[in-house]
Amino acid sequence: METLVQAAEEKFNQNNYSEVLTEFTKEWKDNEGLEALLNFIAPKVPVTRRFEYRQAPDDQIFCSETDDERVGGAGFKRVRFSGEAIQAKTLNKGLTIRVDADDIVGEDWQIRYVHLLMKRLFRNELRRAIKGLKENARVIESTWDEESQPDADIRQTLLNASAEMGFAPNRLLFGELAWYLRQDCYALQDNAGARISSEMTREGLAEKLLVEDIKLLKKQNLGLQGNEITGNEIFAFYAQNGLLKDEPSNIKRFVTPNSDGGLFRVYLEEHTKFVDITVEHYSNIVVTSNANITQINVQPKAN
């Protein structure tokens, strides 16, 4: 049965694969910043379909050696990753849209539909990454008003994490309501320092808090629903780009590239009165360490 399924898939791929549209996905312009936000939360790590990664121990996320000098006649000390070895594989994900012949307008119609599917696929991945943060975060409840110092509260959270685990989160993800509430707190305080804090950019705040970057999570733009995100959350976590599969990062997005180096493939299945356009990819979003993932829920003081 498996052989028949594989044969059917190979035949479908041969008959419907679109090299031109697949090439477009490699040059796709992400005008909403979805891919950048996804890589900010869950950096991509290229792997084969089936792979092994290690669940990073909290006390070994950052290591250094004092014995990296080679002794004559011997080799260098080997770097080894410890932690539980986990067997995993990337999952086949994709979407198909059916375009009726009567709805085809313009010469670039195929590209426009591929663009639509690409955005939806990245939104789906973002929802998975955010779910990973929420399910593994230590939650802190905080109330902010005109007497509060929001930046001091966030700094203390980072310092507490550093004292407990030996390293601090390097990235912050603000819900838009949390960002507005921070601005409002400082705007209500009648002093020069508060006014500067109120008008501070996210880049300026990142420098102030000694974190790598701060990004904004807009619930409406990502299509997030219900209790997935309320907008009053601030997530603190550790991540870095350009990872190997066993290097430290709270969440990783393992991806399997195509033979041409791209991450997506596009198929066109033409029928008499409609065309099915499919975009697929292989990925798996994994929380490889929950050390120091913190979720600060901020609320205004009740009147």
pLDDT by residue (tens digit) across 277-293? 999 999 999 998 888 89
Which residue type does 281 have? H
pLDDT at 1 > cutoff 60: no
**Two structure tokens written together for 28:** 């796709």
Q: Which CATH architecture has domain 10-57+85-300?
A: Alpha-Beta Complex (3.90)
Backbone angles phi, psi at 91, to 5 degrees: -105, 140
Helix, strand or coil, per DSSP, at residue 74: coil
Share of the chain above pLDDT 70, in %: 90
Instruction: Give the count of beta carbons closer than 10 Å to the beta carbon of residue 138.
Output: 15
The beta-strand segments (E) located in 2-80 are 44-46, 50-55
Helix, strand or coil, per DSSP, at residue 268: strand
Q: What are the distances in angstroms from CA 208 to CA 163, 164, 202?
A: 19, 21, 10
Give residues with Cβ within 8 angstroms of 121, minimum separation 6. Answer: 93, 94, 95, 264, 279, 281
**Average per-residue pLDDT in the chain?**
88
Top pLDDT among 105 and 5 is at: 105
- The answer to whether the CB of 277 falls within 8 A of the CB of 113 is yes
pLDDT, tens only, 113-126: 999 999 999 999 99
pLDDT at 177 > cutoff 90: yes
Give residues with Cβ within 8 angstroms of 181, minimum separation 6. Answer: 144, 150, 232, 298, 300
How high is the pLDDT of residue 214? 98
How high is the pLDDT of residue 60? 55
Q: What's the CA gap between 109 and 103, in Å, rounded?
A: 9
- The answer to whether the CB of 115 falls within 8 A of the CB of 28 is yes
Give residues with Cβ within 8 angstroms of 136, minimum separation 6. Answer: 250, 287, 290, 293
Residues 194-228, buried b or exposed e (16+ Cβ, 10 A)?
A: beebeebeeeebbeebebeebbebebeebebeeee
| Lowest-pLDDT range of 156-160, 186-190, 219-223, 271-275 | 219-223
How high is the pLDDT of residue 257? 96
Q: What's the CA gap between 261 and 117, in Å, rounded?
A: 20
pLDDT, tens only, 37-96: 999 999 999 999 999 987 765 545 555 666 777 777 777 777 666 667 889 999 999 999
Among 181, 110, 196, smallest CA distance to 144 is for: 181
pLDDT tier at 152, thresholds 50, 70, 90: very high
The 3-class SS string of 132-195 reads HHHHHCEEEEEEECCCCCHHHHHHHHHHHHHHHHCCCCCEEEEEHHHHHHHHHHHHCCCCHHHH
Q: Is the dihedral of CA 32, 181, 226, 130 positive or negative?
A: positive
* Element housing 200 (H / E): none
pLDDT tier at 205, thresholds 50, 70, 90: very high
Q: Could you tell me how many residues make up the chain?
A: 303
pLDDT, tens only, 238-292: 998 887 787 778 999 999 999 999 999 999 999 999 999 999 999 999 998 888 8
How high is the pLDDT of residue 11? 66
- pTM score, whole prediction: 0.87
How high is the pLDDT of residue 73? 74
Domain ranges (residues) in the chain: 10-57+85-300
How high is the pLDDT of residue 150? 96
Instruction: Give the count of beta carbons closer than 10 Å to the beta carbon of residue 269.
Output: 14
How high is the pLDDT of residue 66? 64
pLDDT, tens only, 135-145: 999 999 999 99
